[in-house]
Amino acid sequence: MKKIYVLFFILIIYGCDVPNKSHDIKMDPDIFPYPKLLEDITDKQGEIENKERFEKFYNNVQQNKTDNIRLVRYTPEGNLVFYYLEYQNEMIYLTIDTKSNINEQKSLIQTTCISLKKVQTNISEKYLLEGCDKTIDNNILIIKK
């Protein structure tokens, strides 16, 4: 019986000495991994995933239909910036969440805009927010042809 107690004691002591590997990873638990949604529109430096969903949002705005989306944009450093757009009652509500941007001050910007405009050129389609109550970069999405 003493052997069982000694073995149990050794296992407890050994378990306390094993370093916790989860603390060795340099990741902010509020940021990575972020819960990716099926309807996310992702912009990885011009490589757009799920652009059809953004076009559906644009069409719903033009037809005065309530809708909302999340655009996840990667910065050149690999950080994430989340754009939450909601169209309701002829207004576009925008929230820009930079809490995952490690190199810049973390912030939450909220604004309302009057319209979403599509500008087509030979090389791209640009989606611009207009009539916003705060000064922001109004280029929401650029899709290269």
Taking only the tens of pLDDT, the chain with its 145 residues reads: 555 544 554 545 555 544 443 333 333 444 455 677 888 999 998 899 999 999 999 999 999 999 999 999 988 888 889 999 999 999 999 999 987 655 556 688 999 999 999 999 999 999 999 999 998 889 999 999 8
In what order do the strands lie in the sheet containing 124-130?
115-120, 124-130, 139-144
At residue 32, the pLDDT reads 52
Structure tokens at 127: 């989606």
Helical segments of 18-140, H only: 51-62
CA–CA gap between residue 117 and residue 130 (Å, rounded): 7
